[in-house]
Amino acid sequence: MGYENIRFPEGTKFLVTGSAGFIGSNLVEAILKLGYQVKGLDNYSTGKKENVEQFINHPNYEFMEGDICELETCMKACEGVDYVLHQAAWGSVPRSIEMPLLYEEINIKGTLQMMEAARQNGVKKFVYASSSSVYGDEPCLPKKEGIEGNLLSPYALTKKVDEEYGKLYTKLYGLDTYGLRYFNVFGRRQDPNGAYAAVIPKFIKQLLNDEQPTINGDGKQSRDFTYIENVIEANLKACLADSEAAGQAYNIAYGGREYLIDIYTHLLNALDKDIQPIFGPVRNGDIKHSNADISKAKEMLGYDPDWSFEQGIEAAIEWYKENLGVEVGISFR
């Protein structure tokens, strides 16, 4: 269980794209702790320098500032690399609806160029971030790979196209690709600021500051919130997966289902707050319910997530308290 006992040959080198972002920086940290080499690539378009500053002087870490939309940069980044963990992308369904051309450029062209660079440099495995948004309006729960509905946003479309390219690169060129369909990842270093911030860090910050959060819709929408440690495990285990598992996409979640209004109540209790939320309009492109069947990832990748939502949310709150400089006692009731 977990990833602490995962082992690679000595001298193994990983490339983490989007290494200054939330998921990317956590991957860098985990790999360095395991004792392997990491090359980070980021252009800081959404990532933050403070997320990577702590690694700069580490003897096994190398940082490269660059853009995945430039093929030459992708080629240089993949030199001498064993495994690529491709996290670089622009997230947010609402923002993709506002900026479809930019999402095409970064999430599709950028990912394709990274795959091509990995192929030409003889990379062993190419593991990339997909998304639960590819399920679109498919109503069945839990969500199961192979049963997808109509896509609801440009962001979802970019991730579906990435999966199709991944399938082709495995079939046509022999590059082992593994698409990880993340379900609402949360945890340390996730940005609580801005109009497109994820709901958990945003709520935590607002409640710590005694502000009144806005819940889009009635709060009865559900999500399979997934703590960052589970995502790290999935990425590393995909690197060790059998080639028979390549060219496919996998649900990466805990396999639970939390309602947004219940999460809000959790946070109120944990932070000892009594603040009523504002209920705003439903966000365009959002799905109502999301819950993952993770049996395929368990069988094919050996994925076995340790961290439940309750464990993860407690750890996340502790991290935000320390990093937002707020002293608050935690008690789940």
Full DSSP string of 152-164:
-SHHHHHHHHHHH
Full DSSP string of 167-201:
HHHHHHH--EEEEEEE-SEE-TT----STT--HHH
CB contact set of 98 (below 8 Å; sequence gap of 6+)? none
Give the dihedral of Cα atoms 16, 22, 28, 29; nearest 10 deg. 180
* H or E stretch covering 214: strand 214-216
8 A C-beta contact, residue 68 and residue 24: no
Q: Which residues are catalytic?
A: 155
Name 181's bridge partners.
Answer: 130, 251
Spatial CA neighbour of 177 closest among 131, 251, 239: 239
Q: How far apart (Å, rounded) are the C-alpha atoms in residues 11 and 19?
A: 20
Q: What share of the chain is helix, strand, coil (3-state, %, to 5)?
A: 40, 15, 40
Spatial CA neighbour of 17 closest among 96, 118, 157, 98: 118
8 A C-beta contact, residue 162 and residue 109: no
8 A C-beta contact, residue 90 and residue 46: yes
8 A C-beta contact, residue 80 and residue 92: no
Residue 287 half-sphere exposure toward CB, CA atoms < 13 A: 28
Name 180's bridge partners.
Answer: 129, 250
